[in-house]
Amino acid sequence: MLKRSALEGRESAFSMYNARMQENTAIQDNSSVGIVAPKTAHFNQPLTLSSGQILPQFHLVYETYGKLNADKSNAVLICHALSGNHHVAGKYSAEDKHPGWWDNMIGPGKPLDTNKFFVIGLNNLGGCHGSSGPLTTNPSTDRPWGASFPIVTVEDWVNSQACLLDHLGIQSLAAVVGGSLGGMQALQWTIAHPQRVRNALVIASAPNLTAQNIAFNEVARQAIITDPEFHNGEYYNHGVLPRRGLRIARMLGHITYLSDDAMGAKFGRKLRGEEYQYSFDVEFEMESYLRYQGDKFAGEFDANTYLRMTRALDYFDPAKQAGGDLSAALAHVTADFLVVSFTSDWRFSPARSKEIVKALLDNELSVSYAEVTAAHGHDAFLMPDPHYHNIVRSYLNKVKV
Amino acid sequence: MLKRSALEGRESAFSMYNARMQENTAIQDNSSVGIVAPKTAHFNQPLTLSSGQILPQFHLVYETYGKLNADKSNAVLICHALSGNHHVAGKYSAEDKHPGWWDNMIGPGKPLDTNKFFVIGLNNLGGCHGSSGPLTTNPSTDRPWGASFPIVTVEDWVNSQACLLDHLGIQSLAAVVGGSLGGMQALQWTIAHPQRVRNALVIASAPNLTAQNIAFNEVARQAIITDPEFHNGEYYNHGVLPRRGLRIARMLGHITYLSDDAMGAKFGRKLRGEEYQYSFDVEFEMESYLRYQGDKFAGEFDANTYLRMTRALDYFDPAKQAGGDLSAALAHVTADFLVVSFTSDWRFSPARSKEIVKALLDNELSVSYAEVTAAHGHDAFLMPDPHYHNIVRSYLNKVKV
């Protein structure tokens, strides 16, 4: 099992931000959920996947913060994005320097206030942080699943998350919350289990991928798959890892997470040295950042999981079953919504969020929509922007539990 | 020496466009420059490069179309972009299905009218289509230069192009024309050789790369350099080619050449088959297109050249020597300018062209600027858009020879 704080690496390069966040942590220690530990839920029941394949049994690793109230009405599920996991908030020890990936959002007094809500984070099926996936054992062979682990979809994740709620004895979620691919899961929750979710917070997300989004995913996957050390996904058996491919995939990902302007402000054309060296080594700070992020990720994340996460993104398209009509696809939705987009997010632009908003309004649902002015591109959803955080806080303050 | 029509592959996927262009060709055969043949100019004189390295001798492959007039005042130089070459217009035989890469722009009666102008296209130093570069012989070792070929810059190219003009007995260019990286060369001509260029057409270009542009180049280069078959650039000696890396680089490039909207209109979320196959094989037409383009390019282009072309892009920054002040960098420019940008070009956006326009106007130079409404992104500069072509035609009609 690989361990990492899913997004801290990306944020750490934004040293200014990181410093501010750590200052926050230091000053407002009482705003942390504190020391946490992951748990594992085992499901000895078959799960039929979108592909038609059946997982005979599975397990999910999860964490919880706050307390479930007596009538179990205050549960909030956090759905993670491509490289996220169950470690959403808190630390694993007093010395742990890397809190969960959305620690700035979740805790006592934070926008998602654990004094009010019982928060659940999990690692999705197919992940590489402990839940059933390529790195875990296939019970029918007693060997790691590897490349034979099924391709899973957003729909499959949501159904497995419903099993986790059953396991926890929770009938209805006060809210399901997610950014990016996590927002797709939040939306899917309201479609697949309308009676079990009262509010959905769909942040920096989209109702499906554009051709350009698909194209970026395809380049990333091809970098991995054509890495000679990928071995058709059975690299574990060869004692190697397709690091080169995963590194390229992650470098490319980072370009799409940040806005052109954010990159310009942070790196611009700054050189590593005094003058051009006329070589293919690092010349620009931008290059150094990308290489660092790529190297780091390639040593921590699993390539088979990366392939599956990007494919789940590609496949998500709730309107597909309704002949392309998203409004029709949302006809049975009953949840209230907060939809948030960020002006500089070119991966999932505000226009994509507005497609969701329009379809919800077509169904006369209650929708709050905010387009936050933010420089950080898609990554803005992870940043502690006060305006953004206040929007989430205000919305959740009104949620009854 | 590799042979290819540099950009036809990319255009050919736009079957609608291609059909239109071939129809044009068929109907207006008298608008073609006809059968052409490349020539080679040898220079037994040292060329000092930006890096400080000296090329003791070099050669350039070039083509010409139209006739040089008696006072040699009607010459137009075409500068190519990343994957372009000297074969700008015409065909190599009556059966040749692939005219030069800018055949829609150049010919009798075309926007760049070869009844009026003598047009020169060349392959830049470091290229892979015949001019001195990694694939050609290093005269001091009698072996291919390979990875030891120097890193060349836009400045070096322009200086070598000036040698070609000397060779042809041309003192002054009626115009220098280029799109993208070619536009950078056109701009550099006016800076480095102000007395030798009367007009510059700078199309879909920029005064330097943004951090995001540099980032894309870096991912492409890293894909090539970390390909196990790259062998530090000496793959020729190992009887292999870093096809995987070059393929990824080209796939990524194509994403940046097209606009999100153009990709959406052409490919959208169209599936190859009827339904999802739940695999990592081609699912979407978008993927098929990228793989095709990547495979094609990887079999035709040289990786060492690709590295050098992207580095030349990174390094170009005329304002750098003037403390970041582009206006100051252009203080000695005397040429008249046509600057053209395309609304959907997110690689070199209209805002970047406007930076050039502003700096030219600061120097009270004569500048025409057009921002063309076009759906095709950066690739629009290669497309036969009537409005765009008329702008170029009108400008060139007024150029005195």
Question: Which residues of chain A make contact with B242, given a CB cutoff of 8 A?
Answer: none
Question: Which residues of chain A make contact with B315, given a CB cutoff of 8 A?
Answer: 276
Per-residue pLDDT band for A238 (boundaries 50, 70, 90) equals very high
For the cut 50, the answer to whether the pLDDT of residue B17 exceeds it is no
**In Å, what is the CA distance from A299 to each residue of A125, A170, A238, B225?**
21, 37, 16, 19
In this prediction, residue A4 carries a pLDDT of 38
- List the single best residue of A219, A258, A308 to mutate versus B (max B Cβ within 10 A): A219
- How far apart, in whole angstroms, are the C-alpha atoms of residue B235 and residue B245? 12
* Active-site annotation holder among A129, A193, A254, A378: A378
SS3 A334: coil
Residue-averaged pLDDT of chain A = 93
In this prediction, residue B168 carries a pLDDT of 98
Verify whether the Cβ–Cβ distance B248 to A223 is below 8 Å: yes
ipTM: 0.92
- How far apart, in whole angstroms, are the C-alpha atoms of residue B190 and residue B395? 17
For the cut 80, the answer to whether the pLDDT of residue A14 exceeds it is no
Q: Which residues pair with B121 in a beta bridge?
A: B63, B78
- How far apart, in whole angstroms, are the C-alpha atoms of residue A193 and residue A189? 5
- The share of chain A scoring above pLDDT 90, in percent, equals 93
Query: The tokens of B64 are what?
Result: 């010409």
- Cα A298-A303-A304 angle, rounded to 5 deg: 165
CA gyration radius for chain B? 20
Q: Which residues pair with B47 in a beta bridge?
A: B55
Are the CB atoms for A287 and B214 separated by under 8 Å? yes
Summarize pLDDT for A203-229 with one digit per residue, the tens.
999 999 999 999 999 999 999 999 999
Chain A: closest CA distance from residue B32 (Å): 35
Helices (H), B258-349: 260-266, 285-298, 303-315, 326-329
DSSP secondary structure, A68-121, as one string = --TTS--EEEEE--TT--S--SSBSSTT-----TTTTTEETTSSEETTT-EEEE
Verify whether the Cβ–Cβ distance B284 to A214 is below 8 Å: yes
| CA-CA-CA-CA torsion sign (A149, A150, A152, A158) | negative
- Cα B12-B14-B17 angle, rounded to 5 deg: 95
Mean pLDDT of A139-163: 97
Verify whether the Cβ–Cβ distance A221 to B280 is below 8 Å: yes
CA gyration radius for chain A? 20
Mean pLDDT of A354-361: 98
Calculate the CA B275 to chain-centre distance: 40
Verify whether the Cβ–Cβ distance B263 to A50 is below 8 Å: no
- Give the contacts of B338 (CB within 8 A, at least 6 positions apart): B199, B200, B201, B202, B203, B367, B368, B369, B370, B391, B392, B395
Verify whether the Cβ–Cβ distance B290 to A223 is below 8 Å: no
Verify whether the Cβ–Cβ distance A264 to B223 is below 8 Å: no
Q: At what angle do helices B211-225 and B243-257 cross, to 10 degrees?
A: 160
- The amino acid at residue A232 is N
Per-residue pLDDT band for B2 (boundaries 50, 70, 90) equals very low
Lowest mean pLDDT among A231-240, A306-315, B11-20, B36-45: B11-20
Per-residue pLDDT band for A2 (boundaries 50, 70, 90) equals very low
Summarize pLDDT for A370-385 with one digit per residue, the tens.
999 999 999 999 999 9
Residue-averaged pLDDT of chain B = 93
Query: The tokens of A278 are what?
Result: 């006329």
User: Is A336 an annotated catalytic residue?
Assistant: no
Query: The tokens of B10 are what?
Result: 């990319």
**Location of structure tokens 């879909």:** B204
Summarize pLDDT for A44-71 with one digit per residue, the tens.
999 999 999 999 999 999 999 999 999 9
Distance between start and end Cα atoms, chain B: 36
* Active-site annotation holder among A336, A345, A379, A385: A345
- How far apart, in whole angstroms, are the C-alpha atoms of residue A32 and residue A364? 38
Question: Which residues of chain A make contact with B218, given a CB cutoff of 8 A?
Answer: 251, 284, 286-287, 290-291
Q: How many CB atoms lie within 10 A of CB B71?
A: 9
* Active-site annotation holder among B83, B131, B160, B180: B180
Q: pTM for the complete prediction?
A: 0.93
Per-residue pLDDT band for A16 (boundaries 50, 70, 90) equals very low
- The amino acid at residue A24 is N
In this prediction, residue A40 carries a pLDDT of 98
- How far apart, in whole angstroms, are the C-alpha atoms of residue A105 and residue A21? 11
Q: Judging by DSSP bridges, how do beta strands A367-372 and B54-55 pair with one another?
A: unpaired
Question: Which residues of chain A make contact with B223, given a CB cutoff of 8 A?
Answer: 223, 248
- Give the contacts of B301 (CB within 8 A, at least 6 positions apart): B2, B4, B83, B128, B246, B250
Per-residue pLDDT band for B30 (boundaries 50, 70, 90) equals confident
- How far apart, in whole angstroms, are the C-alpha atoms of residue B381 and residue B374? 9
Question: Which residues of chain B make contact with A151, given a CB cutoff of 8 A?
Answer: 278-280
For the cut 50, the answer to whether the pLDDT of residue B275 exceeds it is yes
In this prediction, residue B22 carries a pLDDT of 44
SS3 B138: strand
Question: Which residues of chain A make contact with B268, given a CB cutoff of 8 A?
Answer: 211
- How far apart, in whole angstroms, are the C-alpha atoms of residue B139 and residue B142? 5
Verify whether the Cβ–Cβ distance A263 to B212 is below 8 Å: yes
Q: How many CB atoms lie within 10 A of CB A345?
A: 28
Mean pLDDT of B283-297: 98
Per-residue pLDDT band for A85 (boundaries 50, 70, 90) equals very high
- How far apart, in whole angstroms, are the C-alpha atoms of residue A222 and residue A124? 23
- How far apart, in whole angstroms, are the C-alpha atoms of residue A17 and residue A24? 10
Per-residue pLDDT band for B386 (boundaries 50, 70, 90) equals very high
For the cut 70, the answer to whether the pLDDT of residue B18 exceeds it is no
* Active-site annotation holder among A180, A259, A341, A349: A180
Per-residue pLDDT band for B29 (boundaries 50, 70, 90) equals low
Per-residue pLDDT band for B258 (boundaries 50, 70, 90) equals very high
- List the single best residue of A280, A308, A348 to mutate versus B (max B Cβ within 10 A): A280
- How far apart, in whole angstroms, are the C-alpha atoms of residue B229 and residue B243? 8
User: Is B180 an annotated catalytic residue?
Assistant: yes
**In Å, what is the CA distance from B5 to each residue of B204, B248, B326?**
20, 20, 35
Lowest mean pLDDT among A388-392, A396-400, B5-9, B259-263: B5-9
Per-residue pLDDT band for B138 (boundaries 50, 70, 90) equals very high
Mean pLDDT of A31-43: 97
* Inter-chain Cβ pairs, chain A and chain B, closer than 8 A: 150
Residues making up chain B, counted from first to last: 401
Mean pLDDT of B328-342: 98
Verify whether the Cβ–Cβ distance A215 to B264 is below 8 Å: no
In this prediction, residue B254 carries a pLDDT of 97
Mean pLDDT of B346-362: 98
Verify whether the Cβ–Cβ distance A286 to B209 is below 8 Å: no
Verify whether the Cβ–Cβ distance A276 to B208 is below 8 Å: no
Verify whether the Cβ–Cβ distance B254 to A209 is below 8 Å: no
Q: How many CB atoms lie within 10 A of CB A113?
A: 18
User: Is B336 an annotated catalytic residue?
Assistant: no
Facing A286 at nearest CB: one of B211, B278, B280: B211
Choose among A196, A173, A186, A187: nearest CA to A363: A187
Q: At what angle do helices A211-225 and A303-315 cross, to 10 degrees?
A: 160
Query: The tokens of A242 are what?
Result: 């397709």
For the cut 80, the answer to whether the pLDDT of residue B219 exceeds it is yes
DSSP state of A306: H
In this prediction, residue B288 carries a pLDDT of 98
In this prediction, residue B1 carries a pLDDT of 37
Mean pLDDT of A290-318: 98
Choose among B45, B107, B41, B37: nearest CA to B76: B107
Facing B286 at nearest CB: one of A214, A267, A291: A214
- How far apart, in whole angstroms, are the C-alpha atoms of residue A230 and residue A242? 5
Chain A: closest CA distance from residue B132 (Å): 18
SS3 B59: strand
Verify whether the Cβ–Cβ distance A225 to B280 is below 8 Å: yes
In this prediction, residue A100 carries a pLDDT of 98
In this prediction, residue B150 carries a pLDDT of 98
Facing B286 at nearest CB: one of A211, A244, A266: A211
Helix and strand totals (H; E) in chain B: 12, 14
Q: How many CB atoms lie within 10 A of CB A313?
A: 22
Question: Which residues of chain B make contact with A220, given a CB cutoff of 8 A?
Answer: none
* Active-site annotation holder among B103, B113, B227, B345: B345
In this prediction, residue A29 carries a pLDDT of 65
In this prediction, residue A30 carries a pLDDT of 87
By the 10 Å C-beta count (0-12 exposed, 13-18 middle, 19+ buried), A373 is classed as exposed
Summarize pLDDT for A107-136 with one digit per residue, the tens.
999 999 999 999 999 999 999 999 999 999
Are the CB atoms for A21 and A94 separated by under 8 Å? no
For the cut 70, the answer to whether the pLDDT of residue B25 exceeds it is no
Facing A315 at nearest CB: one of B266, B276, B315: B276
